[in-house]
Amino acid sequence: MQRLATVNCSGPNLLHITFDDGHVSQYDQAFSALQELSMKATFFVTAGWTGKRPGYMTWEQLAELARCGHEVQSHGWSHTLLTRCSVKELQIELSRSKSDLEDHLGAKVNAISLPGGRWNTRVLEACRESGYEQVFTSDPWMVSEDVMGLQIAGRWMVTRNMNAQRIHFLLEGKGATLYLLRARHFAKETAKLVFGDSAYRSLWRMLANKDKSQEDARIASDSARRPQA
Ligand SMILES: [Zn+2]
């Protein structure tokens, strides 16, 4: 975190730190670390889980994040992969999550992080029609660009298995780390195509010994920096 803070101070709005899903560990652990280093982040929360699903943040906790200057934005209503949604389901995932967050927190919601990083042109159209302006993917190579009236941004995923040196290389944008992460991302995407989503997720959890309740932070790629206020 200290390294992130150093990089963040080295230029205006250099990094954009984001967290997905709204797991309570983000409030219990990341929030205090961010405050200590005077850093701001965006928390993309699954609105339908808020205050209901054990292990996820409450509305009060989200309101505290917002009061302290962090952004709370949408990660859909139920974490359903948007590429699999019908028109009606897309409406619920996108519009209901947006309005629920806005009603509870009293702040405009104009950005969404796509569950599972899945997207296509139909999903982007629905995002735009639902009033979103920014869409965050999980594609590490993607530069921030305007597509179909939306600002689309890729992100680098930081996991608990990454040591400080690896994160350092990632932030510096050099070394084999970038190539390794890109290669890993392409391998994962290929596996999804070959095995299908369900089989892929089972396989991935088994290999990574991933605890479903643990979440990963993401750092937007260099070109997906926090927009100027
Ligand atoms: Zn998620």
Angle at alpha carbon of residue 119, lines to 54 and 185, rounded to 5°? 85
Torsion (CA) 28, 31, 33, 36 in degrees, nearest 10: -130
Has residue 50 been placed in a domain? Answer: yes
Has residue 20 been placed in a domain? Answer: yes
Task: Give rounded-to-5 percent helix, strand, coil for the chain.
Answer: 50, 15, 35
Ligand 1 centre and the CA of 44: distance in Å? 8
Has residue 188 been placed in a domain? Answer: no
Has residue 197 been placed in a domain? Answer: no
Has residue 54 been placed in a domain? Answer: yes
What's the CA gap between 69 and 53, in Å, rounded? 25
Has residue 182 been placed in a domain? Answer: no
CATH code for the domain of 145: 3.20.20.370
Ligand 1 centre and the CA of 175: distance in Å? 28
What's the number of domains the chain is made of? 1
What's the CA gap between 192 and 133, in Å, rounded? 28
Angle at alpha carbon of residue 163, lines to 114 and 21, rounded to 5°? 25
- Domain range for 28: 2-175+212-224
Residue 188, sorted as left (phi over 0), alpha (psi -120 to 50) or beta, turns out to be alpha
Residue type, 201: R
Query: Average pLDDT per run of 10 along the chain, which is 229 residues long?
Result: 59 76 96 94 98 97 98 98 96 97 97 95 96 93 83 87 76 64 69 67 60 52 41
Ligand 1 centre and the CA of 6: distance in Å? 27
Ligand 1 centre and the CA of 2: distance in Å? 25
Has residue 201 been placed in a domain? Answer: no
User: Each residue of 169-202: pLDDT tens digit?
Assistant: 777 765 566 666 666 666 766 776 666 666 666 6
Has residue 38 been placed in a domain? Answer: yes
Q: What is the separation of C-alpha 131 from the centre of its chain, rounded to a whole number of angstroms? A: 18
